[in-house]
Structure 1
Amino acid sequence: MRAVVTGAGGFVGRWLVRHLEEAGDQVVAFDRDLDVTDGGALRQVLADLTPEAVYHLAAQSHVGRSWEEPVEVLRVNCLGTASVLDACRRLASPPRVLVVSSGEVYGAVPAERQPIEEDEPLRPLTPYAASKAAAEAVALQAHRGYGLPVVVARPFNHVGPGQSTAFVVPALAARIVTARARGERTVAVGNLEARRDMTDVRDVVRAYRLLVRRGEPGAVYNVCRGEARTVAEVAERLVALAGADVVLEVDPALVRPVEVPALVGDPSRLVAATGWQPRYELDETLQAVLAEAAAEAPTP
């Protein structure tokens, strides 16, 4: 299958390109070399490549940072998606398109309605989540209005080697490894009570390819494990796996202005459509993240 990946230089994009190539797909990867808000450039590029599948990952993806740059986040995440879809629908043979949204679009869902199903109303709490909800609306309109074969993925938290320390798990791993190396006794953390559904990035990208091949156009799919973990649990596992003798200490500067207390998804629709099952357990993922943190840690 001839596939185009936008946002291919990002954390998930790099793993996706690797997975597609290992599966035998012909992949053209774009990152900062292609502005997804430039409709003219997109139309020319896709007309030249005639892809059979487009994986649209390009986005401003840091939830905390979206509070500082809400207009830019909306421009890239919503208008960029609209430009990609417009370029795809104008092709003589439109490709199947996967638009990657986020479980953050659900917002704060009461505990009695979790794990969250795809029909749950969207109540985005952050500028990032609002931009993804808007991108979903554009994607589903492209299917309903133009017949473009679009599938929307709503991944919940995903982790693994290669993720920026701007995100919680690699940030915790880096602080723990550094504290251990320097003989420090405390590690700064943010909100430890938040509960998240965490999936290894290598499992996430398998789900993306399966959705392109087997997902129903116009449908939305959660990509998640369906299991809740508190940040405290994850931090304690990282400490244990690292063999560090440290105490976790909440730093108010690391606490976001608005935090969804719990976000756990139901992957039943994904499993029914594709047969997907996660292969990596949390400890395997955390060990890989710690190994990378140790390799990059500064010499004490």
Structure 2
Amino acid sequence: MKALITGITGFVGKHLANELHRNNYEVYGADIIAKDENTLECDILDRVSIQNVLEQVKPNVIFHMAGQSSVAKSWSNPNLTFDLNVKGTINLLETIKMFDNEIQVLLIGSSDQYGKITVQDGIVNEEVPLCPATPYAVSKCAQEELGKLYHSAYGMNIYLTRSFNHIGIGQSKGFVIPDVASGIAEIEKHKSDTLKIGNLAVKRDFCDVKDIVRAYRLIVEKGRSGVVYNVGSGESYCIQELVDKLIAMSKCTIKIERDPSRMRPSDVPCIQCDHSRLTQEIGWQPEIEIEKTLKDILDYFRTVIEDEE
């Protein structure tokens, strides 16, 4: 099986490539900058660029990871968010349709699409109405509708997820757990004296990225085309709880300071994944404990800071 990962040099793309390699896929990447011989230069805003990649790789399956994934950046630059997440997806689907519409395509959505949920306990399955409350979430809703449209109108093999928060080694700063872990590592090395944090009261479903990419592989292998699958741990954690766990792993006293710039214009109090559809149809279950994931992330940033010295 020949797989193409757009945005392969990103956080999730790298982990997905490792997952596919372990399961005997022939893996190729496409990214705005080609960094190795198996990664081709590709701009998803340029259909000719996408066409060139498809002609060279001739993939059986495409995992579409390229896009803008930061909620915070979607507020500061909504135009770029929609260009990459919506126009980029249209370009990819149009090119696939003309090249070979038998190619399997996985489009990655987000739990942010649920937005201001109305279910009392915050636990959402795929039938909960979408109420996006950020530019990023709106762009992902549009991407999902495009996927459904191309599936129904052209018979394309398009698989869809709404993925909840995923964390792990290699995730960049700008997301809450990497920000906290890197902040602790900097304090340990006396590069900072204060850990700056945003809203600690919200509850989110966090899952190790290795579990997430295993789900992505299984969805294209065993899932139904045109169907949306929630992908998440099924456990909801208060941000304060995870910060406390990371601080407990630190090697020194950590002073906390609330930073208003890290507060989002819109924050949903609680959301938790119901992954029953994914589990019942495909047999996927999360396997990695949150404590191991947090320790891996903290150790990763400790190594990064040591390498910078």
User: What TM-score comes out, normalization by structure 1 length?
Assistant: 0.95
**Residue 149 of structure 1 is aligned with which of 148, 157, 169?**
157
Question: For residue 43 of structure 1, what is the aligned residue in structure 2?
Answer: 51
Alignment of 1:127-146 (within 5 A): 127-146=135-154
Work out the percentage of aligned pairs sharing the same amino acid. 36
> How far apart are 1:93 and its partner, in Å?
5.6
Q: Matched residues in 2 for 1:62 and 1:258: separation?
A: 14
Question: For residue 10 of structure 1, what is the aligned residue in structure 2?
Answer: 10
Equivalent pairs counted in the alignment come to 300
Q: 1:134 to 1:60 in 2, by over 3 A?
A: same
Q: Please tell me whether the aligned partners of residues 82 and 138 of structure 1 are also in contact (alpha carbons under 8 angstroms).
A: yes
Q: 1:146 to 1:251 in 2, by over 3 A?
A: same
Q: Matched residues in 2 for 1:207 and 1:236: separation?
A: 29
Q: Matched residues in 2 for 1:14 and 1:292: separation?
A: 15
> Any unmatched runs of 5+ in structure 1?
none
The aligned amino acid for 2:79 is V
User: Secondary structure at 1:108's aligned position in 2?
Assistant: coil
- Indicate the RMSD between aligned Cα atoms, in angstroms: 1.7
User: Secondary structure at 1:112's aligned position in 2?
Assistant: coil
Which sits farther off after the overlay, 288-297 or 197-206?
288-297
Q: 1:113 to 1:79 in 2, by over 3 A?
A: farther
**Residue 179 of structure 1 is aligned with which of 187, 193, 198?**
187
> How far apart are 1:186 and its partner, in Å?
3.8
> Any unmatched runs of 5+ in structure 2?
33-40
Question: For residue 66 of structure 1, what is the aligned residue in structure 2?
Answer: 74
Alignment of 1:256-295 (within 5 A): 256-295=264-303
> How far apart are 1:169 and its partner, in Å?
0.5
Alignment of 1:14-33 (within 5 A): 14-32=14-32, 33=41
Q: 1:175 to 1:148 in 2, by over 3 A?
A: same
Q: Please tell me whether the aligned partners of residues 151 and 216 of structure 1 are also in contact (alpha carbons under 8 angstroms).
A: yes
> How far apart are 1:111 and its partner, in Å?
4.7
Which sits farther off after the overlay, 138-147 or 49-58?
49-58
Q: Matched residues in 2 for 1:125 and 1:106: separation?
A: 8
Q: Deviations over 1:178-232 (max 9, x none)?
A: 2233297642110001111000001100000000111101100010011110110
Question: For residue 35 of structure 2, what is the aligned residue in structure 1?
Answer: none
User: What TM-score comes out, normalization by structure 2 length?
Assistant: 0.93
Q: Please tell me whether the aligned partners of residues 50 and 91 of structure 1 are also in contact (alpha carbons under 8 angstroms).
A: no
The aligned amino acid for 1:162 is G
